[in-house]
Structure 1
Amino acid sequence: MVLRISIGNKTKDTTKTSSESTKQVTTTTATSTAAHSSSSLRSGEMKIMQNFLLIWFDGNIDKNHKDFQDYFTELRNIVSTFEKFNDVNRCAEYLRRIEFEKVFLIVSGTLNKDILPLVHDMIQIDTIFFLTRDKNRYKQLEKKWSKVQIVSASVNSICKRLNKAVRECDHNVVPVSFVPKRTSMETTFDQFELSFIYSILIKEIILETKEDDTKCMKDLVAYCSQQNISESQLKHFQRKYHRKSPIWWYTYECFLFSMLNKAVCSMDLECMSKLGFFIRNLNRQLEQLHKEQSNAYKKRITVYRGQELNKEEFEDLINMKDGLLTFNNFFRLVQNNM
């Protein structure tokens, strides 16, 4: 999709929860920039199916202990790629080999503070969750280390924090590109990057393909199972898919949104083909809603979306005032900026 850029005051993103999804303005798009993706860290490893992964570091970690298994089960419902380490150097080395995804790091145990100086400033690290039963004792770490969050050592507490971090990461990872304003106010294809044209072609192929949804769903579940997506989520998806709308599933907190977001941003054709039936269903529902609601919006409406930009991206945005913004994803927008 191509949008006209206007520069205004900073706004707070207030995307609503899944129960309010019918009130959201969601648009399907095509982009100018395909994000990079490191499909695996070593030859033969499974793909990282989301824009992030989870690492748990504990010097005395016991993978077979019931408490850890309880954590593992719940956390795997949020992040599909979950690694465990009990050696500081091996953990740091693993982190260095991650190229494009963001990392959520859980730190606990006797060696918890030893790892912070080694990994805190790594660009791969998004958030470090410092797990403890005595939050006051380690509160000063949040002041010393900006990426550290002190979290109570309970499954509910860490899942709540991780869910929030995951949503923010997925929201901010969508790549955008800018096309300068033309004095003639006309835009030709030679202004866009080749990746933008490529993404349009891929989009058209997916939307025009005719396949049986039942077979496609079975293929998707089998594919996700091979990529270590949570079995409980896959079973839930199979049982409930036809009972809910595509927009509901897109806004629901499960593997589907993150997986689609990663596939589209990185132009992962294999994954996009597996998700093709869902992309078509979602696009079809959006077109139907647009048709039904178009009469209610005779005048132009303003919608908002907040997204983090690095310094270079922000400078590009400022310089491209009144230019065009291109991206290749479904966007969740709101009609107020509060």
Structure 2
Amino acid sequence: MIVSGSLGQKIIADIEAWPQLESVYVFCRNQAAHEQWANKVPKVKGVYTKIKPICKALQIDRENCDRAMISISFNGRDALFMYTQLLKEALLEIEDDDKKSIKDLVDYCREQDDISEDQIKLVEREYRHHTPIWWYTAETFIYSMLNRGLREMDVDIILKMGFFIRHLHQHITELHHEQKGSMPTNFQVFRGQGFSMEDFEKMKKTKGGLMSFNNFLSTSRNRQISFNNFARPAASNTNSVGILFVMTIDTAICTKSSTPFAE
């Protein structure tokens, strides 16, 4: 929610406990005056006098929300883990007519209330002009819609995006084969995100166990970017815990896995 300084000061006490309210951004002329009350409210992410910094903050917070909503299993025998593996194998074996699949996705998106027509037209016109990884990281509905479908096991979304899941997996596999000769034997990657208190408690109880992420996982080799842009902001939410995952990749082990990775 974006509010003016005077309005925000009047209503913040009534709205800050709303569970559906993730963040508040104050847009005003007198930054110093409104920071006095805004800094005491965890959901107020900042006080701004220009719109561009708000847009940048919104982009980062949207990414944090998407990351925090990724489904995670903490046990290799977990039903979600097993179902996800079977679903992935089935999707990768399907051979669809890509032209028809894109049209089906576009038609489905036009039936939804939360996807802009401009983004739908962009996918309709230019899907073949960019790589799957480009689409996955671009500022369109693709990333959030795919993760929502996988998180909620929404069959409609997963089937409509099945062709994209297959294309993205194939692209990562191709890059993996191209890059594996130049990869170091061992290296670290980082991922910052927020955990609900419930998931955090589950994770603490499975120390030494198996964790699986039910999606395509984005990481960085830069620890500070993962910490400052994702883990630290998530910690400012009273309902979540900021987590920085430090993952050591052993390429000798990973080459035996059916799950590809690439830079």
* TM superposition score category, shorter chain reference: 0.7 to 0.9
- 1:330 aligned partner: 216
Distance in 1 (CA, whole Å) between partners of 2:30 and 2:134 is 39
RMSD: 2.3
- Pair 1:114 & 2:10 matched: yes
Greater Cα offset, 238-247 or 266-275: 238-247
1:260 counterpart letter in structure 2: L
Offset of residue 150 of structure 1: 4.1
- The equivalent residue for 1:177 is 73
Indicate how the Cα distance of structure 1 residues 110 and 320 shifts in structure 2: closer, same or farther if over 3 A, else same. Answer: closer
Structure 1 position 315, deviation (Å): 4.0
How far apart, CA to CA, are the structure 2 residues paired with 1:170 and 1:231?
A: 21
- Residue in structure 2 matching 1:220, options 99, 105, 113: 105
Matched letter for residue 293 of structure 1: Q
Which amino acid letter does the alignment assign opposite residue 160 of structure 1? K
Alignment of 1:238 with 2:124, yes or no, is yes
Residue type of the alignment partner of 1:169: C
Q: Give the SS at the match of 1:304.
A: strand
Letter in 2 for 1:303: V
1:271 and 2:167 equivalent?
no
Q: Out of 115-124 and 154-163, give the one that drifted further.
A: 154-163
What residue is the counterpart of 2:252 in the other structure? none
How many angstroms apart in 1 are the aligned matches of 2:117 and 2:19?
31
- Whether contact under 8 Å (1:216, 1:277) holds in the other structure is yes
Match of 1:144 among 40, 53, 62: 40
Q: Tell me the residue number matched to 2:182.
A: 296
> Residues 149 and 326 from structure 1, CA distance in 2 versus in 1: closer, same or farther, beyond 3 angstroms?
closer
Alpha-carbon distance, 1:111 to partner: 4.5
Distance 1:156 1:305 in 2: 26
Q: Deviation per CA, 1:270-305: give whole Å up to 9, x if none.
A: 011111111110001111111222233362433222
After TM superposition, the structure 1 stretch with the greater mean CA deviation from structure 2, 276-285 or 167-176, is 167-176
Asked whether the 8 Å contact 2:73–2:81 carries over to 1, the reply is no
CA contact (8 A) 1:129 1:149 kept: yes
Structure 2 residue aligned with 1:98:
none
Give unpaired runs (5+ residues) of structure 2.
225-263
Report the AA paired with residue 20 of structure 2.
Answer: Q
Equivalent pairs counted in the alignment come to: 223
Q: Which of residues 161, 180, 186 in structure 1 aligns to 2:57? A: 161
Q: Which residue of 2 aligns with 1:252?
A: 138
Q: Which has the higher contact order (CA 8 A, sep 6+)?
A: 1
Q: What residue number does 2:261 align with?
A: none
Provide the C-alpha distance between the structure 2 equivalents of 1:317 and 1:244, rounded to a whole number of angstroms: 37
| Worse-matched range after superposition: 169-178 or 245-254 | 169-178
Q: Which residue of 1 aligns with 2:88?
A: 203
More helix by share: 2
Paired amino acid for 1:221: V
